[in-house]
């Protein structure tokens, strides 16, 4: 199945404490973002890859492409104020009937996770990869807390895949602070979300410790 994948790389990564946005930090000789792009190109060389970047860093990215002789074809789109704005901009460049959204700093998504998403998206039009909770959970209630059943909760990953009609309809709605990912926006638009198993290595690089982790697997 051919698809479009929007890779969001619009953040500046304050928690990383680096001089450059975290998507440009090199791991094993390549910027993290290049590892992520290569993952989807390796899965399907015909995939339509659209990358959102902070406008002020687009020229820097072009310099990195030259430096690393990076040959994977992709379209660059300037990011907006919010992640929502960046993806809405990128949707204008998608031409396929299935559209995915993936974090640029998740270079360890597996081919199996991508396959599970693509196999499921045709059933309902919206699918996300998740992991079951391993830790115990507690909810704050006033000055105390109460235990929650972890079987009722999942952690959410990307890529999140949608039919073109579903995600375009969802992005007709306005942004607000409770929109934390594309699935929440799609759900708010009245669509249900299917889930499939993600892969544990598919972490979002946020801290220096995360860099140590992906160095083991990339």
Q: pLDDT at position 142, please?
A: 86
Instruction: Give, rounded to a whole angstrom, the gap between the first and last alpha carbons of the chain.
Output: 25
Domain ranges, residue 158 = 4-215
Q: Is the pLDDT score of 14 beyond 90?
A: no
- Give tens-digit pLDDT for 172-188: 998 888 888 999 999 99
Q: Looking at the DSSP assignment, which residues form a beta bridge with residue 144?
A: 141
Residue 140: which CATH number? 3.90.550.10
pLDDT band (50, 70, 90) for residue 11: low
State the greatest distance between any 2 C-alpha atoms of the chain, in Å, as a whole number: 56
**Average pLDDT, rounded, for the chain:** 94
- Give tens-digit pLDDT for 187-211: 999 999 999 999 999 999 999 999 9
Q: pLDDT at position 178, please?
A: 83
Q: pLDDT at position 80, please?
A: 82
Q: pLDDT at position 179, please?
A: 86
Helix (H) / strand (E) containing 149:
none
Q: pLDDT at position 12, please?
A: 62
Number of domains in the chain: 1
Q: Is the pLDDT score of 18 beyond 90?
A: no
Instruction: Please give the model's pTM, rounded to 2 decimal places.
Output: 0.94
- Give tens-digit pLDDT for 40-56: 999 999 999 999 999 99
Q: Is the pLDDT score of 13 beyond 70?
A: no
Q: Would you call 93 helix, strand, or coil by DSSP?
A: coil
Q: Report phi then psi at 88, rounded to 5.
A: -60, -40
């Amino acid at each position: 199945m051919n698809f479009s994948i929007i890779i969001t790389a619009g953040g500046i990564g304050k928690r990383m404490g680096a001089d450059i946005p975290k998507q440009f930090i090199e791991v094993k000789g390549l910027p993290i973002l290049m590892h992520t792009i290569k993952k989807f190109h390796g899965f399907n060389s015909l995939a339509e890859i659209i990358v959102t970047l902070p406008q002020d860093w687009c020229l820097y990215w072009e310099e990195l492409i030259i430096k690393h002789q990076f040959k994977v074809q992709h379209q660059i789109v300037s990011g907006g104020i919010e992640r929502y704005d960046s993806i809405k901009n990128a949707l204008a460049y998608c031409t396929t009937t299935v559209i995915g959204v993936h974090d640029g700093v998740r270079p360890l998504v597996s081919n199996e996770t991508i396959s599970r998403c693509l196999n499921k998206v045709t059933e309902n039009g919206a699918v996300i990869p998740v992991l079951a909770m391993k830790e115990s959970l507690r909810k704050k209630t006033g000055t105390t807390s109460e235990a929650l059943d972890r079987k009722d909760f999942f952690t959410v990953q990307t890529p999140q895949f949608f039919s073109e009609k579903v995600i375009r309809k969802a992005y007709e709605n306005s942004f607000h602070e409770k929109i934390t990912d594309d699935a929440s926006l799609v759900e708010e638009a009245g669509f249900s979300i299917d889930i499939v198993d993600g892969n544990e290595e598919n972490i979002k690089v946020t801290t220096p410790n995360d860099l140590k982790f992906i160095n083991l697997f990339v």
